[in-house]
């Protein structure tokens, strides 16, 4: 039995059974069934390649494969055949997350093989690191000597079970591989390995250790190097709640610091949330041929209701809009990739409006971008409502007194509810929002991407209106809306 052929055949035979209602129009999803983390994100030859954790047979997580799509512009994606299936002893219960690198014109994938060791799967498993190679970026051959890193190479003070999600990168002629781990006492950590040939790996050090605050285990580590600072990303399980922040059970966070690759140490000063919304996990970055650092994440969250599965729509999971990661001064910004602008259609604009109360706009939709700048006068609260209907609305608002921006989905429709907040300061008295709405997703880039909030919502098909509102006087300096259309 060839599990890749089986998976592709199954998808081909079943994809007509998808319920399209909440399918997104300009975000990548699986062709059928379940997807989670982005994997192997890379620009290889003429295409951006994005792989993803994929269980094609049902809209729930199961023995994961690597789904695969390519794009020239990070917006319009074409599906390729499933790239990896769990078909060997060393990955028989799942080809877990990992990364890609190009060497001598070939594409190398690094991924975790998940293996259950006894019936009680929650507690009895091991995870090893594997490699697969492709000449053409379509068909992958698993390396003959997998695993490339086995359980015996895990240091003593690290979990022998949770050892997953290799990210490979290259510095000064040496390949490094960082991997998610925990110290078995409820703290996340990242382990670092090195290699000269991608085949033989040696342990360097525990790169960074978390605290009581930063979750019980770390997944999907990633690193981005800027001229004078390095950024380390991890997906932290069971983050502690902290005031308005870290309300999600799990969170993607980043540390700003310095990597010492020789010693395998990452010294940091502080950490932050990558996204202040509800649904953004397991982000992965790549540096493209223009030198841009681009990030994509799973636009869902573990341990929350997957609405499209509950509804029987035969799919679950989507990718975020790719974001550019930019360092400006000492701060990290996340910006929507510029390519999205070429899909703008039907511009609608307003200028110099004095808002006091709520105004329904003469435009609507479920698939669009908004760029708006507010200048509050004596308003204490103002914002935008999207997916507005008879009794539904998704509210994006700023509270001037508390200096908090909120994304509220209590009345968004069906699905998980709640509010997420982010501390935001006005810039020269103004708040700028760049909002991306796509059928069942909302991504808000605040003040040029200083903070971002992402969430999934499942409104009624009649809830298509948009309004601007203010309690007290607020100027809308500029408002633009474009439909986003890929056809």
Question: Is residue 108 at the binding interface for ligand FRU, with CB under 6 A as the rule?
Answer: no
Angle, CA of 412, 358 and 26, to the nearest 5°:
45
Question: Is residue 300 at the binding interface for ligand FRU, with CB under 6 A as the rule?
Answer: no
Closer of 179 and 446 to ligand FRU (Cβ) = 179
Q: Where are the alpha helices (DSSP H) in 86-228?
A: none
Residue bearing tokens 């015996």: 152
The backbone region for 439, taken as left when phi is positive above 0, alpha when psi lies in -120 to 50, beta otherwise, is left
What's the min distance (Å) between Cβ of 363 and ligand FRU? 37
- As a whole number of angstroms, the distance between CA 259 and CA 98 comes to 20
Question: Is residue 109 at the binding interface for ligand FRU, with CB under 6 A as the rule?
Answer: no
* 37 annotated active-site: yes
Q: Other CB atoms closer than 10 Å to residue 131's CB: what's the count?
A: 25
Q: How many residues are listed for the chain in this entry?
A: 487
* Residue list 148-167, contact with ligand FRU (CB under 6 A): 164-165
Contacts of 47 (CB under 8 A, 6+ apart): 70, 71, 72, 137
* Residue list 20-39, contact with ligand FRU (CB under 6 A): 36-37
Question: Is residue 54 at the binding interface for ligand FRU, with CB under 6 A as the rule?
Answer: no
Binding characters for ligand FRU, 128-147, by CB under 6 A (x = yes)? --------------------
Q: What are the structure tokens assigned to 127, written together? A: 């995870």
Q: How far apart are the first and last CA of the chain?
A: 38
* Residue list 260-289, contact with ligand FRU (CB under 6 A): 281-282
Task: Starting at the earlier edge strand, list the strands of the sheet with 202-209.
Answer: 164-171, 174-182, 188-195, 202-209
- As a whole number of angstroms, the distance between CA 255 and CA 271 comes to 4
Question: Is residue 112 at the binding interface for ligand FRU, with CB under 6 A as the rule?
Answer: yes
Question: Is residue 96 at the binding interface for ligand FRU, with CB under 6 A as the rule?
Answer: yes
Closer of 36 and 471 to ligand FRU (Cβ) = 36
* Residue list 419-458, contact with ligand FRU (CB under 6 A): none
Q: Which of the residues 6, 37, 173, 460 is marked catalytic?
A: 37
The backbone region for 4, taken as left when phi is positive above 0, alpha when psi lies in -120 to 50, beta otherwise, is alpha
Closer of 8 and 97 to ligand FRU (Cβ) = 97
Among 8, 43, 97, 463, binds ligand FRU (CB under 6 A): 97
Binding characters for ligand FRU, 202-221, by CB under 6 A (x = yes)? -----------------xx-
What's the min distance (Å) between Cβ of 71 and ligand FRU? 22
- The radius of gyration of the chain's CA atoms, rounded to the nearest angstrom, is 22
Q: Site residues (CB under 6 A) for ligand FRU?
A: 36-37, 53, 64, 96-97, 112, 164-165, 219-220, 235, 281-282
Active site residues: 37
């Amino acid at each position: 039995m060839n599990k890749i052929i089986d998976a592709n055949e199954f998808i081909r035979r079943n994809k007509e059974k998808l319920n399209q209602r909440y399918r997104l129009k300009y975000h990548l999803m699986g062709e059928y069934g379940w997807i989670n983390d982005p994997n192997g994100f890379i620009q290889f030859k003429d295409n951006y390649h994005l792989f993803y954790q994929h269980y094609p047979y049902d809209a729930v997580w199961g023995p994961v494969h690597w789904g695969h799509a390519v794009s020239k512009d990070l917006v319009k994606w074409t599906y390729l055949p499933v790239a990896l299936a769990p078909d060997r002893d060393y990955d028989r219960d799942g080809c877990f997350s990992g990364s890609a690198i190009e060497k001598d014109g070939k594409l190398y994938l690094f991924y975790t093989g998940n293996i259950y060791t006894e019936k009680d799967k929650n507690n009895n498993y091991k995870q090893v690191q594997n490699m697969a190679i492709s000449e053409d970026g379509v068909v992958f051959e698993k390396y003959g000597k997998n695993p490339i890193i086995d359980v015996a190479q895990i240091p003593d003070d690290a979990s022998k079970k949770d050892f997953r999600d290799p990210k490979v990168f290259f510095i000064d002629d040496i390949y490094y591989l960082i991997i998610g781990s925990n110290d078995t006492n409820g703290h996340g950590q990242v382990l670092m390995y090195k290699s000269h040939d991608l085949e033989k790996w040696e342990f360097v050090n525990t790169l960074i250790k978390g605290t009581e605050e930063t979750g019980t285990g770390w997944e999907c580590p990633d690193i981005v190097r800027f001229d004078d600072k390095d950024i380390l990303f991890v997906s932290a399980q069971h983050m502690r709640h902290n005031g308005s922040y870290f309300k999600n059970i799990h969170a993607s966070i980043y540390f700003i610091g310095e990597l010492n690759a020789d010693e395998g140490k990452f010294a940091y000063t502080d950490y932050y949330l990558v996204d202040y919304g509800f649904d953004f996990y397991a982000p992965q970055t790549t540096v493209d041929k223009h030198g841009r650092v681009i990030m994509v994440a799973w636009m869902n969250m573990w341990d929350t209701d997957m609405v499209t599965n509950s509804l029987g729509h035969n799919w679950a999971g989507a990718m975020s809009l790719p974001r550019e990661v930019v360092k400006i001064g000492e701060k990290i910004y996340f910006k929507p990739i510029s390519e999205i602008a070429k899909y703008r259609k039907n511009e609608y604009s307003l200028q110099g409006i004095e808002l006091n109360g709520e105004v329904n706009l003469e435009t609507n939709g479920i698939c669009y971008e908004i760029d708006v700048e507010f200048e509050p006068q004596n308003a204490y609260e103002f914002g935008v409502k999207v997916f507005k209907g008879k009794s539904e609305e998704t509210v994006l608002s700023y509270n001037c007194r508390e200096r908090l921006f909120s994304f509220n989905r209590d009345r968004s429709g069906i699905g998980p509810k709640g509010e997420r907040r982010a501390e935001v300061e006005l810039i020269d008295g103004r708040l700028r929002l760049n909002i991306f709405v796509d059928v069942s997703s909302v991504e808000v880039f605040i003040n040029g991407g200083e903070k971002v909030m992402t969430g999934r919502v499942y409104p009624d098909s009649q809830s298509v209106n948009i309004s601007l509102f203010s309690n007290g006087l607020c100027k809308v300096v500029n408002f633009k809306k474009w439909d986003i259309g890929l056809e």
